[in-house]
Structure 1
Amino acid sequence: MRSIGEMAGDSGLSASALRFYDRSGVLVPAWVDPLSGYRWYEPGQLDEARVLTRLRRAQMPLADIRLVLAGWSGADTELVRGLLEAHLRRLEEGLADARTEFSAIRALLDDRENLMTSLGTAAPVRVGVPADRLAAALDAVRFAVGTDPALPVLGGVLFDVEGDALRVVATDRYRLAVAETGTEGHGGDRVQALVDAPLVDAMRALLRGEGTAQLTVDGDRVSLETDGGQAGGQRLEHEFPDYRRLVQLPAGRTAVVDVAAFGEALRSGPVRDHEDSERSGVSYEVSVVAVDGGTVTVRGEGDEDEHRVGVNRAYLLDALAAGARDRLVLELGAPTAPVVIRRPDDAGTYSLLMPVRLEG
């Protein structure tokens, strides 16, 4: 007999996935200890678990997976082969449809590129920013900068100057962070500059004390000058996505959390192993949280509340640290809506974390 831990290690399925497939009636353990509830599997179930792993990676529907495993040990393989071929046809048809739609979207993009102009300005734009406020703003968003070389547009921080406000924004698709501070000497039209991560870090190193930093956008160059020196370089040519559309969310359930206590509850509380279907080979631990009556809780395996939301635990801990407050506001909407972390005293600074789809 194999324990659930041994089964997980040998099959490629996590222990939480094995528990899920047990509850779903897809791969039921041969024996469950009536006292401890611990699951044990027969040696022959390892092959089924490995098949299940492959079917899961191929994104076969759960109903079909159940039938494949039900017919796996039989002498007649016609049903299994038919299900595999039918799913493969669906994938191929879906890919063909996606290619058609993407081609149409690319054509629309080509038309837009011919009409759109750069946000750069002919005359240099210079604004003064309180050094300590800009330092705090950069600290609040730096954790969300993307590192995927295939998406260089997300590999920096957007400096967005509009009127007398400066917003800095970063996102890696799975989390988005925004911070706002006031400026002096502009008060005009909107100006944007996308700055790569190394230059952002060099700018941050200059921001010491409470003086005023001078931010300059001159054509394709951006620089920051303080009493301690200057850092500058070419701004990224890419156009950052319109983050203002991404943060327009319906109100959710909120709770004010003690950051230290909530962080400890996350670090010591239950987690679920998650394999990212969008990023092959990427896995991480998911915390399941819920807000009820103004109180946030970290949920265990058996808590199936409809209001629970799964979130990458490491990302949530990073966002709590970047919030730089003893108390923060946690906002949960639908299970498919982003988790929002806000400062109670600063409406312009917040983070959004994409939820993780919970199996079942």
Structure 2
Amino acid sequence: MRSIGEMARDSGLSVSALRFYDRVGVLVPAWVDPVSGYRWYGPEQVEEARLLARLRRAAMPLADIRLVLAGWSGTDTGLVRRLLQAHLCRLEAGLSDAREEFSALRALLDNREKPMPSPRTAAVRLSVPAPELADALDAVRFAAGRDPELPMLAGVLFDIEGGTLDVVATDRYRMAVARTGTSGYDGTRVQLVVPTPLVDAMRALLSGEEPVRLAVDGDRVTLESGAGQTAGPCLDHDFPDYRRLVRTPDGSRAEVDTAAFREAVVKGPVVTDDASGPGEPAAELTLLQVTGDAAVALGDDRGSDRNQVAVNRAYLLHALDAGARDRLTLEIGAPTVPVVIRRPDDEHTFTLLMPVRLEN
């Protein structure tokens, strides 16, 4: 007999997935301890579990998985072969449809008028309080992208407008926004994407209390402080329109003690993201939900409550650290809506964590 942990190791299915398939009657343990509730699987169930893992990776519907498992051990494999062939045909048809849609989208992009980008010619000069800029960069730097296929995200957006400087970073799975005040510039809106090495060099110069000077000349940005000066070219890419991306439906809010909540997340239950790509390690997810008494509960079972929102646990911990406040506000809505982590005293500094779709 194998414990559920041993079965997960031998089959390629996660513990949470095995629990799910037990609940829906697809792969029921050979024996469940009536006292402890521990699940135990027979040796003959390993092959079934491995088959189930393959069918999951092939995105076969649960109803068809039931039939495949039911007919797998029989002498007449005709039904199993027909089910596999039908699913393969669906996948090939779906891929063909997707190729046609992407071809149409590429044609739209090719035919779309794209004015030549005009280089920045007007010089921009402004002052920024060093402590505020340091705090803003610390609040967003963790979310900067690292994917070489998306070079426009490999930096921090500096968005200058109306006496404020918004700094924004995103790697698609999380987005962090922070704001600081400025002085000395009241011109039109200016946006530049500062590469992360230059951002780090800027941050190293923000040790004092005096304002620092930020200058933009063409595609080059310079920061000067009492501790020194650093400069470099901006990234030659457009950053996504983050103002559209941060418009999320209102969710339930709960204020947490940051240190206590962080410890609870570290020690608390996790579920495994089984939808990771080939060769990628499965991510650990934390299930979040605001309770009726305006507290945040951590779930331990992906199927126990449909209102739970799953987020990457490591990303959640990064966001809590970047929040840099004794108390933070979590805004949690539907399972498909980003979780928002805000500073109670600063509405313009926040992090969005993209929810992870739970595969059952």
Using structure 2 for the length normalisation, give the TM-score.
0.96
1:182-203 CA distances to partner (integer Å, 9 max, x unpaired)?
A: 1111122111111111111111
Aligned to 2:281: 282
In structure 1, C-alpha distance between the alignment counterparts of 2:102 and 2:278, rounded to whole Å? 20
Q: CA deviation at 1:117?
A: 4.3
1:11-62 CA distances to partner (integer Å, 9 max, x unpaired)?
A: 1111111111111211111111111111111111111111111111111111
Q: CA deviation at 1:108?
A: 2.2
Q: CA deviation at 1:159?
A: 0.7
- SS for the counterpart of 1:290 is strand
Where in structure 1 do 4 or more consecutive aligned residues deviate above 6 Å? Answer: none
1:153-199 CA distances to partner (integer Å, 9 max, x unpaired)?
A: 11111111112111110111110000011111112211111111111
Amino acid at match of 1:232: A
In structure 2, C-alpha distance between the alignment counterparts of 1:130 and 1:15, rounded to whole Å? 50
Aligned to 2:262: 263
Amino acid at match of 1:60: M
Aligned to 1:2: 2
Contact 1:164 1:184 (C-alpha < 8 Å) held by counterparts: yes
In structure 2, C-alpha distance between the alignment counterparts of 1:205 and 1:73, rounded to whole Å? 65
What RMSD over aligned residues (CA atoms) do the two structures have, in Å?
1.6
In structure 1, C-alpha distance between the alignment counterparts of 2:331 and 2:8, rounded to whole Å? 34
Q: CA deviation at 1:276?
A: 3.2
Aligned to 1:148: 147
1:315-338 CA distances to partner (integer Å, 9 max, x unpaired)?
A: 111101100000011001111000
- Structure 1 residues 134-143 or 81-90, which shifts more? 81-90
- SS for the counterpart of 1:115 is coil
In structure 1, C-alpha distance between the alignment counterparts of 2:201 and 2:357, rounded to whole Å? 37
Q: CA deviation at 1:118?
A: 2.8
Aligned to 1:187: 186
- SS for the counterpart of 2:188 is strand
Aligned length: 359
In structure 2, C-alpha distance between the alignment counterparts of 1:251 and 1:349, rounded to whole Å? 17
What are structure 1's unaligned runs of at least 5 residues?
none
**Given the superposition, is the C-alpha separation of residues 288 and 244 from structure 1 closer, same or farther in structure 2, using an over 3 Å criterion?**
same
Aligned to 1:92: 92
In structure 1, C-alpha distance between the alignment counterparts of 2:353 and 2:118, rounded to whole Å? 28
Contact 2:3 2:40 (C-alpha < 8 Å) held by counterparts: yes
Q: CA deviation at 1:275?
A: 2.4
Contact 2:252 2:333 (C-alpha < 8 Å) held by counterparts: yes
Contact 1:119 1:191 (C-alpha < 8 Å) held by counterparts: no
What are structure 2's unaligned runs of at least 5 residues?
none
- Structure 1 residues 231-240 or 342-351, which shifts more? 231-240
**Given the superposition, is the C-alpha separation of residues 268 and 185 from structure 1 closer, same or farther in structure 2, using an over 3 Å criterion?**
same
Aligned to 1:336: 336
Q: CA deviation at 1:281?
A: 2.1
Aligned to 1:210: 209
1:82-135 CA distances to partner (integer Å, 9 max, x unpaired)?
A: 1111111111111111111112222222334x4344364212212211111111
